[in-house]
Amino acid sequence: MPDFSDRLPSAGRPALILASSSPYRRELLERLRIPFDVAVPAIDETPLPGETPEATALRLAEAKARAVAATLPANAGRTLVIGSDQVATFDGKQIGKPGTHERALAQLQAMRGREVLFHSALCLFDSASAEAQSVDVVTHVRFRRLPDATLDAYLRAETPYDVAGSAKSEGLGIALLEAIQSDDPTALIGLPLIALTRMLLAAGYPLLEAA
């Protein structure tokens, strides 16, 4: 967790922090051309018993934002903290990050020719008001029917072992997908920018002026 003790209130706009360890979310936020810090929240991401995928994603997104906000010093000024979490579901079960080649191959084998739902939850927490804006953006992804050898070759080429669903749609993994349906094109990568910009504008953040 970064040390925010030297943070001073910014003139004209609140400070912005991305509460995430994900390099993908950081790269997406950089598209907005606004200054931000990154902090890794220390929370337990285990789903609760009986919790729906949407509820898990929303709870963890807000928990990440609040955990980072709780570390801010008293003189930090108004700070907006972005929390995000993604849960993939297939056949009613949550799909985690595979972690290994073997588990990733098993995921892709099970999902070929099938539809997977990705719940990309987003939270914007305002340290001044202690209010949180939250939303769950759902993306429907249909995987192509591909042979084991093709799936294995893809995994060895891109090694997507740190993403739920075992395929990076922003990279070579797009070749594994038959269709993507979503109201927010960056949600599948991990950070719904349409929803985020809407939240920032609602919070009074001078988005285009800052850029």
Report the catalytic residues: 85
CA distance 87 to 120: 7
CA distance 163 to 109: 16
How many CB atoms neighbour CB 95 within 10 A?
A: 20
Q: What's the CA angle centered on 155, arms 151 and 158, to 5 degrees? A: 135
Contacts of 207 (CB under 8 A, 6+ apart): 32, 34, 197, 200, 201
